[in-house]
């Protein structure tokens, strides 16, 4: 017996997502993820001066606006005459970028993911009453505390960029505002306050102690043995095991990271790379986008973004999404915090991955774990800032050239491809994290990462398929980025 379930729009994600699955004998046998609207930023940018990318592209998304600013500034750097960006400006960019990403991780858990833990299917679980008390949407004890502090944490972005989202302070040469001693003092205090809330509510211990946990065994010792767990992370860990999240929604096991947060020594705090059993270097030449099942038309069904000439075609036969299908070396890969932490060699995430693979639990854990690491890293960056010194160096753009700006948004690798001729943009292409994770099928009929994770999932109650919710929200789709 088979049943088709269509959910549109899928709630508690950014933008308009449609999910369609086919269930046979209690198991998903087919899944389609669709972006259901068209926005056209790539078409809008044609003919503009290159600097306009800094203004337009952050408006692709109101959640990862800084990430788009970083990607577009990196793209403009790639088409500039040789210059050395401001050291202070780069540190300030790192702080603002990390603020947005850490905030996104924490928000995703408490606002988007955790409410599904209260589905009535789970009411029989041991920790359900405690989860309800802490994580109830908007009214849970922990949710209210974290969301109130999140608002204060945003002040860092105001101090550096003037506003959030959609600042234009982030430029190839740094930021357009020099930070004074009072600005740095306020940034340090704001970070300290938010970090203390994360330690007391999420971790139940100082971040320094948490980051000494390097194995599943140590994690078990730190977060086990309590009927009323002191920390939300410990509570989620025990609840996830009881609810079956450890093995739910398994991914392919292939990952890419674009790298981000450049350091003064020429390295990046988060490295780029491709992981398929072992880590190798990332090659942007191996990135392609397929439009086989997308509402676009082009001479070829798949091409590198630098040569993408696809145009909207809303009535295209068999197409089912306004998202394209990015592939790396022809393969489906996952992106996000779990990709970054595995490619970075984080021992705790690597140990959990060796046990379970990429699943609902490990994807969510990786985001929370990365948030803690970013908050700690920000302390070091703040200490490197110099008050009232240069934060901006002017750059000069080439008249005819092309370049790529790669970075990492909270949800994964973000790429901006730009071509200019006569000082005007002739082509601008964007591949977003959710473009990778929630892509449609490609010309080889290969499902995207999210689609593949849904297939073979057992559905206990077809009238309450909460398993679909858990898997999709572990990827945290952002459709407003994807259908840019």
Residues 258/413, Cβ–Cβ less than 8 Å: yes
Hey, where are the domains in the chain?
A: 2-482
| Mean pLDDT along residues 156-179 | 95
- pLDDT score, position 15: 85
Alpha-carbon gap, residue 481 to 484, rounded angstroms? 5
- pLDDT score, position 309: 84
- pLDDT score, position 247: 97
* pLDDT exceeds 90 at position 288: yes
Average pLDDT, the chain: 96
Q: What is the CATH number of domain 2-482?
A: 1.10.645.10
Residues 441/292, Cβ–Cβ less than 8 Å: yes
* CA-closest candidate to residue 107, choices 170, 14, 231: 14
Cα R_g (the chain), whole angstroms:
22
- pLDDT score, position 14: 86
pLDDT digits (tens, 9 = 90+) for 311-360: 999 999 999 999 999 999 999 999 999 999 999 999 999 999 999 999 99
Could you tell me the pLDDT band of residue 55, with boundaries at 50, 70 and 90? very high
Could you tell me the pLDDT band of residue 211, with boundaries at 50, 70 and 90? very high
Determine what percent of the chain is predicted with pLDDT higher than 70.
100
């Amino acid at each position: 017996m088979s049943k088709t379930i269509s959910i549109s729009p899928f709630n508690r994600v950014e933008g308009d997502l449609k999910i369609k699955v086919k269930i046979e004998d209690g198991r998903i046998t087919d899944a389609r993820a669709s972006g259901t609207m068209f926005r056209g930023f790539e078409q809008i940018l044609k003919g503009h001066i290159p600097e306009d990318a800094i203004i337009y592209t952050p408006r692709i998304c109101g959640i990862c606006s800084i990430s788009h600013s970083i990607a577009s500034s990196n793209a403009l750097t790639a088409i500039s005459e040789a210059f050395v960006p401001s050291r202070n400006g780069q540190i300030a960019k790192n702080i603002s970028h990390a603020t947005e990403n850490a905030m996104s991780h924490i928000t995703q858990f408490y606002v988007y993911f955790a409410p599904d833990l209260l589905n009535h299917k789970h009411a029989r679980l041991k920790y359900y009453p405690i989860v309800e008390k802490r994580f109830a949407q908007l009214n849970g004890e922990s949710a209210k505390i974290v969301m109130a502090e999140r608002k204060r944490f945003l002040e860092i972005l105001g101090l550096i960029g003037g506003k959030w989202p959609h600042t234009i302070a982030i430029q190839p040469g740094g930021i357009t505002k020099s930070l004074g001693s009072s600005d740095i003092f306020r940034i340090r205090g704001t970070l300290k306050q938010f970090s203390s809330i994360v330690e007391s509510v999420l971790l139940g211990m100082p971040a320094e102690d948490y980051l000494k946990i390097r194995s599943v065994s140590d994690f078990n010792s730190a977060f086990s043995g309590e009927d009323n767990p002191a920390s939300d992370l410990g509570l989620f860990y025990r609840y996830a095991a009881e609810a079956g999240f450890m093995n739910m929604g398994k991914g392919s096991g292939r990952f890419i990271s674009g790298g981000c947060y450049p350091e003064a020594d020429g390295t990046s705090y988060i490295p780029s790379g491709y992981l398929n059993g072992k880590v190798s270097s990332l090659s942007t030449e191996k990135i392609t986008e397929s439009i086989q099942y997308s509402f676009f038309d082009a001479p070829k069904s798949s091409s590198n973004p630098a040569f993408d000439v696809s145009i909207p075609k809303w009535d295209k036969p068999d197409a089912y999404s306004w998202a394209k299908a990015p592939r790396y070396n022809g393969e489906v890969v996952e992106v996000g915090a779990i990709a970054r932490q595995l490619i970075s060699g984080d021992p705790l995430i690597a140990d959990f991955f060796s046990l379970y693979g990429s699943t609902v639990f490990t994807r969510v854990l990786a985001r929370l774990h990365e948030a803690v690491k970013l908050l700690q890293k920000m302390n070091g960056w703040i200490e490197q800032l110099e008050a009232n010194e240069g934060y901006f160096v002017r750059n000069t753009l080439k008249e005819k050239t092309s370049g790529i700006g790669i970075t990492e948004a909270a949800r994964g690798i973000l790429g901006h491809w730009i071509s200019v001729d006569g000082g005007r943009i002739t082509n601008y292409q964007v591949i977003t994290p959710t473009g990778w994770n929630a892509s449609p099928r490609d010309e080889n009929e290969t499902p995207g990462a999210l689609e593949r994770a849904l297939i073979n999932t057992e559905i206990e109650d077809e009238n309450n398929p909460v398993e679909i919710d858990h898997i999709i929200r572990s990827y945290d789709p952002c459709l407003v980025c994807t259908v840019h």
